[in-house]
Amino acid sequence: MQLPSHEDIADHRIAQFKQTISAAIESQELGLLQEVIESYQQEHNADLTEIAAALAYLVQKDRPLTPAFTSEPAAYEKPAPRSQRRRPTGPMRINHGAMKERSRPPVNANKPHRDESHAPRPPGGYAQTSSR
């Protein structure tokens, strides 16, 4: 399967943009916006095509119709076999042997056992009282 070219991507995005414009014209009430555009055109003596282009830029600036590619995408490279991969060295390498040793006491080492932390029961235990 071949990746699309830069031109194919741009053509597809332009076609989608045109379809979006057509859908908006057909389905939206644009009266107020048309008044704003006409007012802007008169105030600034601007061309409608230039206004439309500026508005299109504002809508598409995060996803340009013609994306800027710095270079051709690199072909997919298969990862090296495990036997040829470099193993990490230095301070970033994990020492699994250190995991077996505890350099500090367990978290609950100084905590009294549950039975030791409560007050002693009274002799004979707790008396049951009847609520009758």
Quote the pLDDT of residue 56.
Answer: 94
Quote the pLDDT of residue 83.
Answer: 75
- Phi then psi for residue 113, to 5 deg, are -65, 155
- What residues does each domain of the chain span? 31-64
Quote the pLDDT of residue 86.
Answer: 72
Q: Judge whether residue 12 has pLDDT over 90.
A: yes
Measured CA to CA, the distance from residue 52 to residue 40 in angstroms comes to 12
Judge residue 9's burial from the number of C-beta atoms within 10 Å of its C-beta, 0-12 exposed, 13-18 middle, 19 or more buried.
Answer: middle
Quote the pLDDT of residue 37.
Answer: 96
Residue type, 93: R
Q: Judge whether residue 18 has pLDDT over 90.
A: yes
Quote the pLDDT of residue 87.
Answer: 67
pLDDT digits (tens, 9 = 90+) for 23-82: 999 999 999 999 999 999 999 999 999 999 999 999 999 988 887 766 555 555 667 777
Q: What is the mean pLDDT of residues 10-18?
A: 94
Quote the pLDDT of residue 109.
Answer: 58
pTM of the model: 0.49
pLDDT digits (tens, 9 = 90+) for 70-120: 655 555 566 777 777 776 666 655 555 555 555 566 666 566 555 555 556
Question: Higher model confidence: residue 63 or residue 126?
Answer: 63
